[in-house]
Chain A
Amino acid sequence: MSDILTITNLSKKYKGNDRYSVKDLSFQVKEGELFAFLGPNGAGKSTTIKCITGALPYSEGNVKICGHDLHESPIEAKKNIGYVPDNHFTYDTMTGNEYINFMADIYGVGVNDRKTRSDRYVELFGLTDAIGKPIGSYSHGMKQKICVIGALIHNPKLWILDEPLTGLDPQSAYNLKELMKEHCKEGNSVLFSSHIIEVVEKLCDRLAIIDKGSLLISGSMEEIRAKNDDNSLEEFFLSVTQGDVLVGDEKEEFKF
């Protein structure tokens, strides 16, 4: 399997801040892989995702998407991404339909493809009645759904979701998780961030845990369980992200 996303030594320091928000981060997401990005609040998950999607500049390291370097050929790299931000940004004056068409125009999706995909996702997320209404009138969950549809309209190779399940009703959350799995089955990849351990445990093929901007561990669920004497992911997560649970030396063992 080839790498869809390759991050090498990515570091990010916000302007005006002395400390790194993300420090020396390296990991890969392979073709067909559902990759989770786990970490406590303020760990650097969103910053990393924003660097990968081009929302934030970074000065150190490399980001490659489908072989395209984000610095050298940003347009080609971004064409392969579908991004659902945590703040689910949309233009409130647009109707759902207009937003989907807008995103399709931006990514150059043909009329037939956009119609097929749009109809399918709108029905799947139960937005049929609301699709002609302004997004400004949508609830939090509905805005999240329209963002998901906008991100999938060009069938991206890499679908990136920042805290995707926040605010979704159980049925929509289930649909979204199924969609993420299906997207991977079609040979694409999904990278999502979360701090909900149960979701990550059930959903992902591989995961990375970050805290204070540094990668603590990455690998498949089996690899991580093996390193953790077959304890639950929750126990492991708490042990590596809370310095007071493990003593320094023990914590160091998990870093690589």
Chain B
Amino acid sequence: MTAFFALTKQLIKNTLIPNFKDAKEKKKYIGILITIAICIGIPYIAMLVGIFGMVKASVELGYIAHILSIGFFASQLLTFFFGLFAYVNIMYFSKDNEFLFTLPLKSVSIFWSKFIAILVYELIFSVFTVIPVCVVALIAMATLGSFSVGILLMMIPATILLPLMAILVIALLSFPIMKILQFFKKHPIFGAIVAVLFVAAIYIAIYVPIIQNTPDMGSSDIASGAVEEVSEEISMSEVYAALLPSVAPIGKYFYHTYLLAMSMTVGGIKAFGYGVAFIGIVAVLAGLGTLLAMWQFKRISQGVYESNGVVASSKKQGEVKQASLKKALLKKEFSSVLRSSNLLIQSGMMVILPPILILLLGKYQVKLTNSFVALAISELIIKLMTSSNTISLLAVSRDGEGALMAKTMPISANQIIWSKIFSGFVFSAITVTLSTVALALIGGGINVVQVLGFFISNMLYAWAVNRYCVYRDLKKPRVHWKNIEEIIKNNFSSVIPMFLAFIPGLLVMGPTMAYGIVLTLNPYIIAALYLATTLVVSGIYYLIIHATTKGNVEEYWQRIE
């Protein structure tokens, strides 16, 4: 086996297979995966069946390329969203870099091995998004008597090339991100803020054209339209016929995915031309992305482990100050978070992404539907994002063997755990506050009752979810690591809290959406109904978490070894 192949194989294995402590943990993980697959798989199949009608209508109306283009672009956005962290972690923050540079391998080989590992990882998302969409389109076209060879031919290349493009864009963007971090390495907080704002600006740059090109259907149109449609029992195909000419043309603005979609649907020599144009774009991007990334890979990676622990020297060096136990514990929590660039970026993204998503998706929804649909989606976003707070998810694990040292100190475990919940909550509270501001800025009928309800209930939820995450980590922390990046990179603990967040998220989202679409009452009365719903759901969630995480803290703490 060649050195390059051996390394690539190992890195793919590392990326795809988590590091299990024992067979029991492995079994549990597989069990969780199967449960999640069933829970997500069934609604996913139902959704595919649901969109079949829309795809069929789009074939009939000549919008199939547009719809495919939207689907492909959405898949790329998913890859981009999840791939950004994976790329930066695997490429630059991975603890094996120091080891790999001592081996007789060219840094280009190491770069490509890592790049392929990331691509394989991202292909998993692509397989479950691109292929089903293509199959649905293929069947829809076949039922209308226009079997598409193009879809059949381009389906597999599209599955590979679409995530590849997203990763290449990430490769290009990771360069300035890493440069920002290295430039501000003595001021990691400032560096993380600038890097996070840079990523936020990219998201805004992606979404703004989408919003600008979204037709303004007005809230009253949809609300009244929905009532009329129900009363007159208009068929779904008629709804699609009404909606598609307004919504589908957005697909044309995603030029690259539109070219791909055209190559699948037009047939003949034209299809070949579109296919070549699409592949040409990928090739140009590949050239730019990999050349820049290869050129800088070694320098940046070495810079990361070289600058570990470099912080600006304090002017107060040598100053002796006494603090209360509570203050001392909180100070320790915040300094450990603020001095890890990777942890800081993850926390920063958690703080900045929800308000951006709420603002952008909210504006989009307000244009297409109404403020309650925007609010409902915002509720799901905030609940999912606050459930993936790395600070709390790794509350004990990120202390490493320091947790063992803390066991020898004359401090109650309750005090330590409280400081961890509080520090995690502070970040979530900033997220909720900024998201509330974003919600208020959506406009289009968002009122004060909606904004207040969102803020109060999600503050309550944020405390509870941070408490839950800290307790989860307390029960089974991973304290034996040498590099904090290692524990952040191999953090799979967000899966269950995020999955569970769907329950309160959907419990608020569903009724809120229904109130906004079905009810034709005064918006403040509908908002009051939302307020009651969200407070009840968050309140019950808070009580459940408090009841299930009470006690045992000392016992769990003593069990850490």
Interface positions of A (Cβ within 8 A of B): 14-17, 50, 53-57, 74-76, 78-79, 81, 83, 85, 87, 89, 91-94, 102, 105-108, 134, 136-137
Contact partners of B307 in chain A: CB under 8 A: 14-16
CA–CA, A227 to B98, complex, Å? 38
Question: From residue A227, how far is it (CB to closest CB) to chain B in Å?
Answer: 34
**Closest B residue to A94 using CB positions:** B10
8 Å CB contact of A56 from B20, B105, B106, B302: B302
A79 touches B104 (CB 8 A): yes
**24 A-B pairs whose Cβ atoms sit less than 8 Å apart in the complex:** A14-B306, A14-B310, A15-B185, A15-B306, A15-B307, A54-B102, A55-B102, A55-B302, A57-B299, A74-B106, A75-B105, A78-B104, A81-B102, A83-B102, A85-B102, A89-B99, A91-B10, A93-B19, A94-B10, A106-B6, A106-B7, A108-B3, A134-B19, A134-B20
Interface centre among A17, A55, A137 (most CB of B within 10 A): A55
Is B1 among interface residues, defined by CB-CB distance under 8 A?
yes
Which of chain B's residues has its CB closest to A92's CB? Answer: B19
Q: Which of B2, B101, B186, B482 is close to A55, meaning CB atoms less than 8 Å apart?
A: B101
Chain B nearest CB: distance from A208 CB in Å?
A: 21
Render B3-14 as a binary contact track against A, CB cut-off 8 A, 1 for contact.
101110010011
* B95 interface contact, C-beta 8 A: yes
Q: Could you tell me if B104 and A53 are in contact, using CB atoms closer than 8 angstroms?
A: no
Say which size band chain B's interface belongs to. 20 to 34
Q: Specify which of B96, B103, B105 is in contact with A91 (CB 8 Å cutoff).
A: B96
A107/B186 contact (C-beta < 8 A), A15-B306, A55-B98, A91-B14 known:
no
Tell me the complex Cα distance, A242–B485, Å: 36
Give A136 to B21 CA distance when docked, in angstroms.
Answer: 7
CB of A215, distance to nearest CB on chain B (Å): 22
User: Which residues from B are CB-within-8-Å of A54?
Assistant: 101-102
The answer to whether A53 touches B306 (Cβ under 8 A) is no
User: In the complex, what residues of B have CB within 8 A of residue A56's CB?
Assistant: 302, 306
Question: A57 and B104: CB pair below 8 A?
Answer: no
Nearest residue (CB) in B for A53 is B102
**B182 adjacent to chain A (CB < 8 Å):** yes
Interface residues of B in 85-135 (CB under 8 A from A): 95-96, 98-99, 101-106
* Residue of A53, A76, A93, A137 with most partner-chain B CB within 10 A: A93
Question: Across the two chains, which residue of chain A brings its CB closest to B186?
Answer: A16
- Set of chain B residues within 8 Å of A74, measured between Cβ atoms: 104, 106
B303 interface hit (Cβ, 8 Å): yes
Instruction: For the complex, give the distance between the alpha carbons of A92 and B14 in Å.
Output: 9
Contact, CB under 8 Å: A106 / B105: yes
What residue in chain A is nearest B13 (Cβ atoms)? A93
Q: Do A16 and B3 form a contact, CB below 8 Å, given A79-B104, A85-B99?
A: no
Known: A15-B185, A16-B186, A57-B302. A75 touches B104 (CB 8 A): yes
5 extra A-B contacts, CB within 8 A, seeds A57-B306, A78-B102, A93-B17: A17-B310, A85-B102, A94-B10, A107-B103, A107-B104
